[in-house]
Structure 1
């Protein structure tokens, strides 16, 4: 089932050469559709410094259930998908965010998404297990790709991406209902 027309309209308004900021509103609308404002869920935009020495900020949506983290969405510019270094940075940033917030998650699985434009990579972290997908260690001898483009294999506007996101949200809601 595709997204409701108001969400599709917001995605259609994104400019031809968008920045990450062009996606803030549409992902906000999408997340509030999935986690309604009149429920126990809160969608909280977060600006985090990219690094202590940088003026750049990373943008996340933290979804909370009764003030405890249950879902993370990290936004990146769509052009980042082309560059190994940008994908590696996106991968590292979402893994760090998962690690930072895991202790606050009240459900058995912390779900997260790295969104590079409309392309999504889904992450899960279960207690006492490693983050899935598993990290690819760097090999400086061969200059390997530690965050292959294929990991961002779902498009939020295509049926498979819509269904995957809906399945994750349903799993989160079921786990929260059991609290």
Structure 2
């Protein structure tokens, strides 16, 4: 099970030649529109945070919607972020916070967010029934050194064959939940 060559090539090139977050937007939009095609009524959009009086130029996640309702979101950083534990903590905090932006508008029982560092990703999920996010936050300690966001959480690589299958399974699960709404 492989991605089309145009998807793989885009990721290989961006991983090789850049550390800029914005350079990942193109490959991810290509991949997301492959997984969630417009022909199935999905829309992939880069969201921007609205600040009083203007729209911020700092993007928030890519959100995939169907008929205007969010079904999954993707937050990504460049590959170099994976090697920095502090960045992993910031990303983990940001992912947990992002779910707050969606509560009340989630139409499906399990809402997923993908945190992507380069081509490596961690699957976060929010259970609407339990109002809980997995993986959970790991609290810091005053007495011990605790890695509150171990980089091992980002153990899936989009370019590894078995991980592609896992991502496609996740997409199939999301689409099945969406289909059950009809």
TM-score (norm 2): 0.89
Gaps of 5+ in 2: 51-55
Q: What secondary structure, in the 3-state scheme, does the structure 2 residue paired with 1:38 have? A: helix
Deviations 1:80-108 (A, max 9, x none): 11222110110111111112203211010
Equivalent pair of 2:45/2:63 in contact (CA under 8 Å): yes
**Structure 2 residue 33 is the aligned partner of structure 1 residue 32:** yes
- Per-residue Cα deviation, 1:1-21 (whole angstroms, up to 9, x for no partner): 010111012113214342211
Deviation of 1:48 after TM superposition, in Å, equals: 3.9
Residues 36-79 of structure 1: CA deviation (Å, up to 9, x unaligned):
12222111112348xxxxx8835411011110111010011211
> What is the aligned length?
174
Equivalent position of 2:108 in the other structure: 107
Tell me the distance in 2 between the aligned counterparts of 1:65 and 1:37.
9
Point out 4+ residue stretches in structure 1 off by more than 4 angstroms: none
CA distance in 1 between partners of 2:165 and 2:67 (Å): 25
RMSD over aligned CA atoms reads 1.7
TM-aligned CA distance change 1:139 to 1:57, over 3 Å = farther
Mind listing any 5+ residue stretches in structure 1 that lack a counterpart? 50-54
The CA distance in 2 between the partners of 1:57 and 1:101, in whole Å, is 18
SS at structure 1 position matched to 2:17: coil
How far, CA to CA, are the matches of 1:9 and 1:173 in structure 2? 26
